């Protein structure tokens, strides 16, 4: 999937291919024709975007931390406009949508080349998309808070998980990934699910996928652990200051 900036730039480039706005309107109409079918029974009053002269229905759902849209309109140009918007924003993280300025709309000159009523409708569509993104953020469950008792109960699990991670070695350096300082974050929640954020000594590690999979499997196999997710990051970049004392001794650095 393209990044948000790449998706917006692609729209700008598509519009730049046409010199006349008549051709750009035809492009919008074609976009509308490609919209996913919107079931008639779901075209309810609460899904209508207020402020649009034509009727525009917009619905959303959250899946895996991303917001997906579906829409329809009873006017062909308006249908093309909402199709353009959701082609850029559907499938993005809620916060990314809520905080975006939709500035690419100004760059393609769409608002300025619509009738006043359609231009107002465009603004209403943008506002509703941002509202839905913000609403979905506010509906997310609060971050889990662990009590001192929880922490005491989880302490043995942390020890076992660390021991499991220490069974996984870097493919280029004969030291386990934990003592190398490649594990940036290790969290176990009340459900005994593990979240790990880790890095590598260099972004070009050819065995990165295999090592990530090995860490995930080793931790998931720890008795009492119900699941494990491993996220790769290179911020901040790894350096030798992150080595444990054991790793320094093993590498003959002390």
Average pLDDT value for residue range 208-216? 94
111 and 185 share a domain? Answer: no
Q: Give the end of a domain, one of 138, 169, 202.
A: 138
CA distance 237 to 116: 51
102 and 157 share a domain? Answer: no
75 and 19 share a domain? Answer: yes
Number of domains in the chain: 2
99 and 163 share a domain? Answer: no
Active-site annotation holds for 205: no
* pTM passes above 0.85: no
CATH of residue 220's domain is 3.30.300.130
Residue-level length of the chain: 254
143 within a domain of the structure (yes/no) = no
pLDDT digits (tens, 9 = 90+) for 139-191: 765 556 666 777 788 899 999 999 999 999 988 888 999 999 999 999 999 88
Angle, to 10 degrees, between the axis of helix 116-138 and the axis of helix 76-89? 30
Q: Which domain holds residue 115?
A: 4-138
Give the residue, 212 or 147, on which the prediction is more confident.
212
User: For residue 26, is pLDDT > 80?
Assistant: yes
Find the catalytic residue in 11, 28, 31, 52.
Answer: 52
């Amino acid at each position: 999937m393209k990044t948000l900036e790449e998706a917006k730039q692609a729209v700008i480039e598509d519009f730049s291919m046409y010199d006349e706005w008549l051709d750009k309107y035809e492009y919008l109409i074609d976009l509308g024709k490609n919209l996913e079918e919107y079931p008639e029974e779901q075209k309810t009053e609460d899904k209508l975007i207020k402020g649009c002269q034509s009727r525009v229905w917009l619905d959303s759902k959250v899946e895996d931390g991303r917001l997906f849209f579906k829409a329809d309109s009873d006017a062909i140009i308006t249908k093309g406009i909402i199709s353009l918007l959701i082609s850029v924003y559907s499938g993005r993280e809620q916060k990314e949508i809520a905080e975006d300025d939709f500035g690419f709309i100004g760059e393609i000159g769409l608002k300025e080349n619509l009738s006043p009523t359609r231009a107002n409708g465009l603004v209403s569509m943008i506002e509703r998309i941002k509202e839905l993104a913000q609403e979905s953020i506010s509906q997310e469950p609060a971050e889990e808070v662990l009590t001192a008792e929880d922490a005491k109960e989880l302490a043995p699990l942390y020890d076992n998980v660390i021991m499991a991670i220490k069974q996984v070695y870097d493919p280029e350096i004969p030291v386990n990934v934990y003592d190398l300082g490649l594990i940036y974050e290790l969290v176990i929640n009340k459900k005994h699910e593990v979240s790990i954020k880790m890095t590598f000594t260099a972004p070009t590690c050819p065995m990165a996928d295999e090592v990530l999979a090995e860490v995930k499997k080793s931790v998931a196999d720890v008795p009492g652990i119900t699941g494990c997710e491993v996220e790769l990051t290179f911020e901040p970049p790894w350096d030798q200051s992150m080595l444990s004392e054991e790793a320094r001794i093993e590498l003959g650095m002390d």
